[in-house]
Amino acid sequence: ILDSMDEDISQLSDISERFSKIGSKPQLKNLSISELISDVSDYIKNRLPKQSGIVITNSGDSNITTKGDWILLSWALENIMKNAVDAIGTGKGEISLVILKNEIGIQLDISDTGKGIPRTDWKNIFRPGYSSKRRGWGLGLSLTQRIVEEIHGGSIQVLSSEPGETIFRINFPL
């Protein structure tokens, strides 16, 4: 019980820190993208139902670093991955994170085998208040876009989406 309480207190502390950082100019420090991805993946895996058939895989260059805010970037990835879990639902599925470094910068593709996003909603999903779910405030992806684009100078987009495969692409400058 104490371990669970410590974890809950830590989570509440993270939530408080997230909201305090979103309203101020955060300190961007060198961080390992693969460590960040691994950390968020582990967090999501630990919260999946025991009977979940969802598999999360990470691949790509493990030596890529960038300047960023760990707390905010982990929040952004968490938002995308939670949406992927919801899109897959209770069945089997996969969430895959692939990181590459190219001449333009750092590219992170996050794909899932969920129900997909209709093409007409690709722009709407980043609008505050938009949600295709019955519950929720529709803020996750708008916050994610703000974290990636305004705070970290990157970009986020739906690269493709159809039932069985949705790919989000996040680009960060070198």
Evaluate if residue 20 carries a pLDDT over 70: no
Evaluate if residue 14 carries a pLDDT over 90: no
| pLDDT recorded at residue 103 | 87
Q: Nearest-CA neighbor of 35 among 73, 6, 9, 3?
A: 73
Give 83 or 134, the one with higher predicted confidence: 83
Q: How far apart are CA 159 and CA 170, in angstroms?
A: 9
Helices (H) then strands (E): counts for the chain: 4, 7
How far does CA 63 lie from the centroid of its chain?
20
The pTM of this model reads: 0.85
Task: Please tell me whether residue 109 adopts helix, strand or coil conformation.
Answer: strand
Region 31-36: mean pLDDT is 94
Give 130 or 68, the one with higher predicted confidence: 68
Q: Nearest-CA neighbor of 82 among 23, 168, 24?
A: 168
